[in-house]
Structure 1
Amino acid sequence: MENHNFRQIKSEIRILGIDDAPFTPRSDEDVLLVGTVFRGGQWLDGVLTTTVRVDGDDATWKIIEMVNGSRHLNQLRVIMLDGLTFGGFNVVDIVELSERTGLPVIVVVRKHPDMERIRRALKHRFPDWKARWRIIERAGRIHRVESEDPIYIQTSGIEPDDAAEIVRLSTTRSSIPEPIRVAHIIASGVRLGESRGSA
């Protein structure tokens, strides 16, 4: 897939940050996803929501529907995900997500994933583990973003250097980008009645 060319990354670039609410592991329930529309790391412009099944296989399509159905779509320039999976092991195909929305995707994680451990967990729990693992592999190389507290990213539809610049630009109040931090706070508050600290 061709990468979006950011000649200049503006300080108020519109970012959609997505995180999931707390959920009961290995349950047969839906989990809330919250998307926050941010201008850089400063201004919250909107909130989107959808639900996905815990340990299901619908996260990619539910996020595509949420994004493409949003009135913010024309302003959005990038999608930022808190990890590759939501609701346990409901894996997002970031290549598909980028292609179907026309937006680059940046996955943000705080620690370098232990890929072998993830593969073993999938193999142990899911009959379709090979399909889930292929989606994880498709997300590509993990890149370290240097900052005060280094974090790690995977990308689709955007050069890693551009993605790293957007991550740094939007990391204004904690060690993670503001769109994801606020999505986490909102999702926790809606699910639990009160958010629990920072993301």
Structure 2
Amino acid sequence: MRVEGFDDGFFPLDFKGRRGTTVIAGVELDNGVLTRMGYGVVVVDARDSERVITAMSKLMTGELVFLDGVTYSGFDVVDPDAVHAETGKPVIVVQHHPLNLEKIREALSKHFPDWAERFRVISRVASSMTFVETPWKPVQIYPAGISFDEAVDLYKRNCIYSPVPEALRIADMAASSISRLRLLQNL
């Protein structure tokens, strides 16, 4: 099965508040073999990430999208249901640590005029996540456009070395490397 994974890269704290950029890397694996890879540049804390992920996914031929949580490039928010609706591909959000929604709401309300919309997506997804046991540790997942049972099966089949699906693991490494290279080159 062809799967896609999208993750964001590193950025210094002084980039917060739309004062810098980072990247979102996307990879496509076909039965575990890397077949496509790309990245897009996003402004930290802006509302670019969902658009960039959707655009990259449309260029790929994966049958399933993995997202690493719903917050990207700082406190940008990616709505998995919107990604599914836009691409027609099922989406599985993987969350490795439970979210403290009260602290998130407090931080968002202090820094973003559109905090309520961002928080609506985060809280809706977080409140609908379900714990899944893995050989490594329990994680939470949220399926969009796919049944929970099928999402659990596909999630587990795509975890090889850790509780991170292989497409997300590779996307994380790519995004981290590209973003650090861009910082060194002052792009």
TM-score normalised by length of structure 1: 0.83
Instruction: Give 2:111's aligned residue.
Output: 125
Instruction: Give 1:57's aligned residue.
Output: 47
The question of whether the paired residues in 1 share the 8 Å contact of 2:131 and 2:141 is answered with yes
Instruction: Give 1:28's aligned residue.
Output: 19
Identity of aligned residues (%): 32
Paired AA for residue 167 in structure 1 = Y
Instruction: Give 2:157's aligned residue.
Output: 169
Instruction: Give 1:141's aligned residue.
Output: 128
Stretches of structure 2 lacking an aligned partner (at least 5 in a row):
182-187
Offset at 1:126?
A: 1.1
Structural mapping, 1:86-125, within 5 Å = 86-125=72-111
The question of whether the paired residues in 2 share the 8 Å contact of 1:53 and 1:90 is answered with no
Task: Tell me how large the CA RMSD over aligned residues is.
Answer: 1.5
Instruction: Give 1:43's aligned residue.
Output: 33
| SS of structure 2 residue aligned to 1:168 | helix
- Cα displacement string for residues 8-59 of structure 1 (whole angstroms, at most 9, x for unaligned residues): xxxxx1110011110123152221010110124x221110211221011122
Stretches of structure 1 lacking an aligned partner (at least 5 in a row):
1-12, 194-199
- Provide runs of 4+ in structure 1 moved above 6 Å: none
The whole-number CA distance in structure 1 between the counterparts of 2:49 and 2:180 is 22
Bigger helix share: 2
TM-score normalised by length of structure 2: 0.87
The question of whether the paired residues in 2 share the 8 Å contact of 1:91 and 1:135 is answered with yes
The whole-number CA distance in structure 1 between the counterparts of 2:93 and 2:141 is 5
Counterpart selection for 2:3 from 3, 6, 15: 15
The question of whether the paired residues in 2 share the 8 Å contact of 1:93 and 1:138 is answered with no
Offset at 1:99?
A: 0.3
The alignment of Structure 1 onto Structure 2 pairs a total of residues equal to: 176
CA 1:191–1:97: 2 relative to 1, 3 Å: same
| SS of structure 2 residue aligned to 1:108 | strand
| SS of structure 1 residue aligned to 2:153 | helix
- Cα displacement string for residues 86-120 of structure 1 (whole angstroms, at most 9, x for unaligned residues): 11111001111110100111111211212222111
The question of whether the paired residues in 2 share the 8 Å contact of 1:34 and 1:183 is answered with yes
| SS of structure 2 residue aligned to 1:144 | strand
The question of whether the paired residues in 1 share the 8 Å contact of 2:39 and 2:175 is answered with no
The question of whether the paired residues in 1 share the 8 Å contact of 2:7 and 2:26 is answered with yes
| SS of structure 2 residue aligned to 1:165 | helix
Structural mapping, 1:68-83, within 5 Å = 68=58, 70=59, 72-73=60-61, 76-83=62-69
Offset at 1:166?
A: 1.1
